[in-house]
Amino acid sequence: MVGHVDVRVLLVSAVASGQGKTTVTAALARALVKRGKRVRVFKCGADFIDPMLLERASGAPVGSLDLWMVGLEQCQSQLAQAATEADVILIEGVMGLYDGAPSSADLANAFGVPVMAVIDASAMAQTAGALVQGLRDYGPVEMAGVIANRVAGPGHAAMVAASLRGIALFATLPRQPHALPERHLGLVLPAEMDDVEALLERLAQELVFDDAAWESLRTTRFDLLPAQPLAPLLAGATIAVARDAAFAFLYPANLETLTGMGAQLRYFSPLADEPVPAGSHAVYLPGGYPELHAATLSRAQRWIASIRAAHANGTPIVAECGGMMALVGTLSAWPMAGLVPGAVVMQERLAGIGPQGLDTPHGVLRGHTFHYSTLTTDLIPAERTIKHPDGADGDAVYSVGSLTASYFHAYFPSCPAAVAAMFTR
C-alpha cells in the first residue's frame, strides 16, 4: 500500500509523572469509543503495564513508540498502519513532556503531532496558564489543548480555562475517590482488578468533554509505505513462551517479530505448574512479577523439572528480568529452578532503570531495564549492555550453557537477526 492517510492524533503529556496521564488517556480512549470512534492508543517509551490498561480502555492492541528503542522508521510504520484502521490515535507520553533523550516532545515534533497537556489542577487555578504556556514554548511544541485532572467543580474549571489565554480547555476530570492501584513496578495489572471495566466506564462518564474543541482539532498526515517482510530466520522453530501473572511483561512486537521470522509460539504457565511444551526448540521467559508468586513457583515441580531438562538438553532459553529471577537459586529465600547460581533479593529503591543496548555481531539490540531487585552471583557476565545515552556499562548478561539471562528487556524488532541467534541452537 502506498499513498497517505490523515487522522486525528494527540500526544497526551504532562509536566511530570504523577499528573494522571494514564488515567486521562484511558478515560479519553473509552469516552471516544463510546462516541462510536475507532481508537488506537500507543505508549511512549519502555512500558508493559500502562499499555494493558489502555488496551482495555480502547479495545485495540497498544504498541510502543520511542525514537531510540523502536526507531523513527518503525514508529512511522506503526502510526501509518494505525491511521488506516482508526478515527483517532492517542499517544501517551512518558514522564514529563521534555524528559528523556529522546523525549515525548521529540516524538511529537518528529511526526508533527499536537500535544494535549494533562495538568493536575488539584492545587492550582490561574497558574495553570503559566504552566501550560511554559510547556508549549520551551520546546516548542504545538499545543492542541489541555485536559485538567482532579478538578473540584465547574467554578474551578472556569478559572483554569480563563488562565489559558487562547489554549483550549479540552476536557476536565474530577478528583477520583480512589486512585488506580499501584505496586513497585507501576499499576496493578488490569487482569488483577475486579472492577477494571466499571472503573473505565466511570472515568469515561466523568470526563467532561468539549465536543466543539474536539471537532476543531486538525488531522496529521502519514505516508503509507510497503511493508518489509522479515527474513525467515526462525522458520520451522517452535518457541515456548511463559505467559501468566508472573511472566506478563511482553512487548506485543516481540511476539510479532518471532512469528514474522517464521516461529510458531506455544504458551504455557509456570504458575499453573505447566511444563515446557514437549518438542519446543527454544524457550522465552519474559519479565513480570515472579517475586509476588515466589512461593507458588517454588512448589511448581513439573515446571522446574521441565526447564531443567530443556537446559540439560541444550535448548536455547532466553530469560529477561523476571524470567531470570525464576531461574536463580533463590528468590526472596524461596528456592527457584537453580539454573543461574545465586540469590535475588528485593529492595525498596530502584536497582536499575533506563534505556540500554546490547552490542551483537548482528547489530545493536535495543531495550531497557527497570527492576527493584538485585542478583548476587559468582557468575562472570558474558557481556554487558550499554546505557543510553551516556554509554556507561549497563546490565550484566549471563550465559550458562544454552541459557541467556539478564535484567535487560530487549525490544526484538530493533535487531531481529540478533534475536534469531539467541533462539537458535
Q: Are residues 305 and 341 in the same domain?
A: yes
Same domain, 168 and 294: no
Q: Are residues 199 and 243 in the same domain?
A: no
CATH code for the domain of 102: 3.40.50.300
pLDDT in tens, 282-334: 999 999 999 999 999 999 999 999 999 999 999 999 999 999 999 999 999 99
Is residue 230, in this structure, part of any structural domain at all?
Answer: no
Are residues 263 and 214 located together in one domain of the fold?
no
Residues 397 and 363 in one domain: yes
pLDDT at 211: 85
Whether residues 308 and 333 share a domain: the answer is: yes
- The predicted pLDDT at position 62 comes to 97
Look at residue 213 in the predicted model and tell me its pLDDT: 86
CA atoms within 13 A on the CB side of 39: 23
Q: Are residues 379 and 261 in the same domain?
A: yes
Residues 215 and 269 in one domain: no
Domains in the chain, number: 2
Long-range contacts (CB closer than 8 Å, 24 or more residues apart) made by 185-191: 185/49, 185/289, 185/370, 185/371, 185/372, 186/47, 186/49, 186/50, 187/22, 187/49, 187/50, 187/53, 189/49, 189/52, 189/245, 189/248, 189/289, 190/52, 190/53, 190/56, 191/52, 191/245, 191/248
**Which pLDDT belongs to residue 256?**
97
Whole-number pLDDT of residue 228: 87
| Domain co-membership, 305 together with 202 | no
Q: Indicate whether 278 and 361 sit together in one domain.
A: yes
Considering the domain boundaries, does residue 219 fall inside one?
Answer: yes
Q: Which residues are catalytic?
A: 321
Low-confidence ranges of the chain (pLDDT < 70): 1, 178-188, 190-192
Residue 101, domain member (yes or no): yes
Cα–Cα separations (whole angstroms), residue 287 to 15, 261, 360: 29, 22, 21
Residue range of the domain that includes 83: 3-224
Q: CB under 8 Å to 297, separation ≥6 — which residues?
A: 246, 270, 271, 290, 303, 326, 331, 334, 336
Q: Which helix (H) or strand (E) holds 405?
A: strand 403-406
**How does pLDDT run across 29-75, given as a tens digit for each residue?**
999 999 999 999 999 998 888 999 999 999 999 999 999 999 999 99
- Identify whether residues 155 and 205 lie together within a single domain: yes
Identify whether 229 is part of a domain. Answer: no
Does some domain include residue 232?
A: no
